[in-house]
């Protein structure tokens, strides 16, 4: 679980930085500012570089970069080029083109050298060869160096060091990328850990920097913040071992004609900048944190989940610089869990960028049949509830499951939850109490599960709020959250749902109601997704501001009115002592489950959060689907979490607020899986 180590190290390091979250905001601010003023920054930077005696070349695309470098190579008689790691040069496949012209190119970053020898593409932004075992690496070097390299880490290092030394010293040209370009002085900053960039840049007579234009910042203060941000986000260390700051070509005695060339690459970046959706992708600082946390990337890896830029951010970047077809090959691996956005130091709305790419692909190539079915889950739920209990009998029979797979693409192994005829909508008036002097008003957004599958839970929510003297209404005509539409790239349909739900809920907000949902995905849509879909409209923002998860609302508004205890009812909760809590992905963007934990503890439970730091695998309707992009992948993603739960004998019961997570966990976890509200009893504290 190399990715988990990356996540944990990052958390520790962020905690050490004086201002953890502010730090993240700073990164976002600096990069946004840089994107906004890009043209000016690039011009200023270029002018300063020229003043410093460097040569500057603006390249529209990869071909121009190749031609430019070939021109220099021919002029200087360069036969051997050393490179330090540069994703930008990989983006344009520089090595291949130079080699085709008879120039030998040697990658000096160890991970890059390994994949160069193996003839592969990078597996991960920061750790390109993390998929190779130590013995595979020893073998690679043995073959390449025609010597026996033992399967020992130190021996491999010493061999590599010795083998690359003469290469460093003989190269006529060194090519690097740049992590940051500082416009105020025309300086490039190159960050490495191995020290290879030092040798690549200081020894050869010609140093060429290939940098994407989005790397520019204005000032040294901003540059130093990024220099600290890159490693903290990527590997949880403070600085990379070597940070080289270069403004001009330093002399080296005995060598008169030394040159520094700075190639500033566009290759789709200026187009990205003009695009209101994709503009924010330019904030990416290439830290790799998003792929460390992505549940499906963690299972399939960067060769499947990527072309040259892997992982979540790789989807929009690939679409923009390499084209839709390449991006479409892996865009549908994204399950819209939203974790990438939560961890991104530049707060890029990666999930919605990915949704846009999916939409482009669906418009071009049509929607996958299985996805069409999933997106229609609302209609299906209605029908199944209306025809319950017959529907349940059919759905859960083996014939039903078989047909379900063949006709609807729902994996037959998946246990579908049962539907209830007595939906919350139907029975609402029975659970609703009219309150004399309510201290608050709530419009309840039940989404699908609390209405069709577990109306009893929906009723508990209503009772809970009413016990705190809060008036609850169930607005008519509410759709489900619409999240599946987003997950499958049906953004027009998603926008319709958003518009509809917001138009129904806004009048309530205007009248002083708050909106509560117990399904984390529903609150997530209200707060994060609808405003994006509706272009940040006033209405959607107003609704977002007044939307809460159930326990958030409890904590903020009514905790003084309710005293919580263990539920005394059919669920035997009073016998439970230790609760294992699962934070659903969408919840991580909201309350992270903190107020729920507080409430459970107040009721007298011992609660611990059990997590792998990534998704349980269900990802909404994703885990229902038959086929490779569905049930099997979903189970693979969730396996480590299931094991954690099952290996903890101290736990009596598992609690989670997401209906879909419940289904995933209930299939494989040995303890009962319930909603926190199933564990709680509430009574009014004193009188008003």
Partner 1 sequence: MSSQQFDKATLFSSKFEALGGFVHGAQTLEEAVSTVNNIIRRRGKGKVCCAPLFIGDHASNPDMQTAPGTDVSSKVASDLAFGDASEDPQRLKDVDVGVTKADYAVAQTGCLVEISLNDANHLLSSVVRLHIAVLEASNVLSNLRDLAPILRRVFSAGGEPKPRVTLISGPSRTSDIEMKMVMGVHGPLEVHTVIVGLKNLIRNGVGRDSEEI
Residues in touch with partner 1 (CB under 8 A):
2, 5-6, 52-53, 108-111, 114, 127-130, 132-134, 137, 153-154, 156-157, 160-161, 164-166, 168-170, 182, 184-187, 193-196, 198-199, 202-203, 219-221, 224-225, 227-228, 235, 238-255
The answer to whether the CB of 304 falls within 8 A of the CB of 330 is yes
- Reduced to 3 states, what is the DSSP secondary structure of residue 655? strand
10 Å CB burial of residue 685 (0-12, 13-18, 19+) is: middle
The Cα 457–Cα 436 span in angstroms is 25
CA distance 672 to 666: 7
| Closest distance to partner 1 from the beta carbon of 252 (Å) | 5
CB of 341 to partner 1, least distance (A): 25
Q: How far is the CB of 68 from partner 1 (least distance, A)?
A: 22
The tokens 């080296």 sit on which residue? 252
Question: From CA 90, how far away is CA 95, in angstroms rounded?
Answer: 8
Q: What are phi and psi of 472, to 5 degrees?
A: -115, 130
Cβ neighbours for 607, distance < 8 A, ≥ 6 positions apart: 578, 579, 580, 581, 597, 600, 601, 655
Rounded to a whole number of angstroms, the minimum distance from the CB of residue 188 to partner 1 is 11
* Least separation in angstroms between CB 684 and partner 1: 53
Q: Which residues lie below 8 Å from residue 557, measured CB to CB, with a gap of 6+?
A: 440, 468, 470, 514
Q: Supply the DSSP symbol for 581.
A: E
- Shortest distance in whole angstroms from residue 216 CB to partner 1: 15
The residues, any chain, with a CB within 8 Å of residue 654's CB and separated by 6 or more, are 579, 580, 581, 582, 610, 645, 665, 669, 671, 672, 673, 674
Contact present, 189 and 219 (Cβ < 8 Å):
no
Residue 124 CB, nearest approach to partner 1 (Å): 10
Nearer to partner 1, 58 or 220 (CB): 220
* 232 in Cβ contact with 238 (< 8 Å): yes
Closest to 61 measured CA to CA, from 99, 94, 105:
94
- In the complex, what is the shortest distance from the CB of residue 247 to partner 1, in angstroms, rounded to a whole number? 4
Rounded to the nearest whole angstrom, what is the least distance from the CB of residue 227 to partner 1 in the complex? 7
Helix axes 134-145, 110-118, angle to 10 degrees: 70
Q: Are 552 and 590 in contact (CB under 8 A)?
A: yes
In angstroms, give the least distance from the CB of 254 to partner 1: 4
- Each residue of 412-430: b (16+ CB within 10 Å) or e? eebebbbbbbebbbebbee
For the bound state, the minimum distance from the C-beta of residue 524 to partner 1, rounded and expressed in Å, comes to: 32
Q: Closest distance between partner 1 and the C-beta of residue 48, in Å?
A: 9
* CB distance 523 to 590 below 8 Å: yes
Question: Which helix (DSSP H) or strand (DSSP E) does residue 473 occupy?
Answer: strand 470-473
Q: Which is nearer to partner 1, 174 or 681 (CB)?
A: 174
* CA–CA dist 471, 14 (Å, integer): 42
Residue 186 or 595 having the CB closest to partner 1: 186
Spatial neighbors of 363 by CB under 8 A, at least 6 apart, are none
């Amino acid at each position: 679980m190399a990715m988990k180590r990356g996540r944990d190290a990052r958390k520790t390091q962020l905690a050490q930085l004086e201002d953890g979250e502010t730090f993240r905001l700073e990164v976002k601010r600096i990069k946004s500012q840089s994107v906004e003023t890009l043209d000016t920054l690039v011009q200023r930077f270029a002018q300063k570089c020229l003043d410093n005696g460097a040569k500057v070349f603006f390249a529209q695309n990869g071909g121009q970069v190749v031609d430019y470098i070939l021109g220099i190579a021919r002029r200087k008689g360069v036969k051997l080029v050393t490179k330090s790691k540069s994703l930008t040069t990989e983006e344009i496949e520089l090595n291949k083109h130079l080699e085709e012209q008879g120039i030998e190119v040697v990658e000096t970053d160890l991970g890059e050298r390994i994949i160069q020898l193996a003839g592969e593409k990078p597996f991960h932004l920061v750790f390109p060869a993390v998929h190779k075992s130590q013995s595979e690496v020893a073998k690679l070097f043995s073959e390449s160096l025609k010597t026996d390299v033992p399967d020992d880490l130190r021996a491999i290092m010493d061999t590599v060091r010795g083998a690359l030394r003469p290469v460093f010293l003989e190269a006529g040209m060194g090519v690097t990328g740049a992590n940051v370009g500082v416009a105020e002085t025309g300086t490039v900053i190159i960050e490495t850990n191995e020290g290879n960039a030092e040798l690549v840049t200081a020894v050869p007579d010609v140093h060429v920097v290939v940098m994407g234009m989005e790397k520019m910042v204005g000032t040294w203060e901003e540059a130093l913040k990024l220099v600290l941000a890159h490693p903290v986000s990527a590997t949880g260390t403070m600085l990379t071992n070597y940070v080289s700051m270069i403004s001009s070509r330093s002399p080296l005695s005995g060598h008169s004609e030394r040159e520094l060339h700075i190639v500033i690459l566009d290759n789709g970046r200026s187009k990205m900048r003009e695009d209101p959706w994709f503009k924010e992708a330019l904030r990416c600082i290439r830290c790799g944190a998003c792929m460390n946390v992505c549940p499906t990337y963690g299972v399939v890896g960067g060769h499947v989940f990527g072309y040259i830029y892997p992982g979540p951010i790789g989807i929009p970047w690939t679409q923009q610089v390499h084209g839709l077809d390449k991006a479409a090959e892996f865009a549908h691996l994204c399950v819209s869990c939203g974790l990438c956005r939560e961890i991104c130091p530049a707060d890029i709305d990666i999930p919605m960028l990915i949704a846009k790419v999916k939409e482009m692909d669906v418009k071009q190539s049509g929607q996958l049949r299985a996805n069409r079915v999933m997106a229609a889950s609302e209609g299906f739920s209605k029908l199944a509830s209306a025809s319950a209990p017959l529907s349940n009998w059919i759905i859960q029979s083996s014939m039903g499951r078989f047909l379900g797979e063949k006709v609807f693409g729902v994996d037959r192994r998946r246990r579908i939850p049962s539907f209830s005829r007595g939906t919350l909508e139907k029975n609402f008036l029975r659970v609703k109490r009219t309150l004399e002097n309510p201290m608050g008003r709530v419009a309840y957004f039940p989404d699908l599960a609390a209405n069709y599958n577990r109306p009893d839970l929906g009723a508990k929510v209503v009772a809970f709020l009413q016990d705190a003297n809060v008036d609850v209404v169930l607005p008519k005509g509410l759709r489900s959250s619409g999240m599946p539409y987003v997950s499958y790239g049906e953004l027009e349909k998603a926008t319709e749902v958003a518009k509809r739900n917001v138009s129904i809920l806004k009048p309530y907000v205007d009248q002083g109601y708050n909106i509560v949902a117990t399904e984390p995905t529903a609150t997530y849509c209200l707060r994060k997704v609808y405003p994006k879909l509706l272009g940040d409209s006033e209405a959607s923002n107003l609704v977002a501001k007044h939307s809460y998860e159930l326990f958030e609302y409890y904590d903020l508004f009514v905790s003084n009115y309710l005293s919580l205890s263990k539920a005394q009812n059919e669920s035997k909760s009073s016998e439970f002592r230790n609760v294992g809590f699962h934070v659903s992905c969408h919840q991580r963007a909201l309350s992270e489950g903190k107020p729920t934990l507080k409430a459970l503890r107040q009721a007298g439970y011992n609660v611990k959060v059990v997590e792998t730091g990534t998704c349980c695998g269900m990802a909404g309707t994703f885990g229902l689907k038959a086929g490779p992009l569905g049930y099997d992948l979903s189970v693979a993603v969730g396996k480590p979490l299931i094991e954690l739960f099952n290996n903890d004998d101290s736990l009596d019961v598992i609690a989670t607020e997401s209906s879909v997570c419940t289904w995933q966990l209930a299939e494989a976890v040995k303890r009962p899986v319930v909603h926190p509200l199933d564990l709680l009893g509430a009574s009014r504290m004193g009188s008003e």
